[in-house]
Amino acid sequence: MSRYLINYRICPQPGLWNELYKILKEEFTMESISPPLILAGWNYSNDDDKERRFKEHLSLIEYKDFKDGRDFLEKLKEEDWHHKGE
């Protein structure tokens, strides 16, 4: 998990986080996957809220060793991430 949260990263930018969420929903059909904090959720949440939610998604990826999720995250450029204080 920590390799994705370097350089003060909090979570992917909203559009990309939503893409990751769609990938997760295809693999994990359970309804208990919390949606990303995007749209109104982005504006009404702080960095801690966003990071906590993203860590839930990372936990699924790492617990199940989910290759598609890892591959998606590995392809993100630094500017594709939301950083602390932005």
pLDDT (mean) for 65-85: 94
Q: How far apart are CA 49 and CA 41, in angstroms?
A: 10
Provide the whole-model pTM: 0.90
Who's near 64: CB < 8 A, 6+ residues apart? Answer: 27, 28
Looking from the CA of 27 toward its CB, the CA atoms found within 13 Å total 17
Domain parsing of the chain, residue ranges: 9-77
Q: Which residues contact 68 (CB under 8 A, 6 or more apart)?
A: 23, 27
pLDDT tens digit sequence for 9-61: 999 999 999 999 999 988 876 667 899 999 989 999 999 999 999 999 999 89
Helices (H), ranges, the chain: 14-27, 40-43, 47-63, 67-74
pLDDT, residue 30, reads: 65
Closest CA to 54 of 31, 67, 40, 73: 73
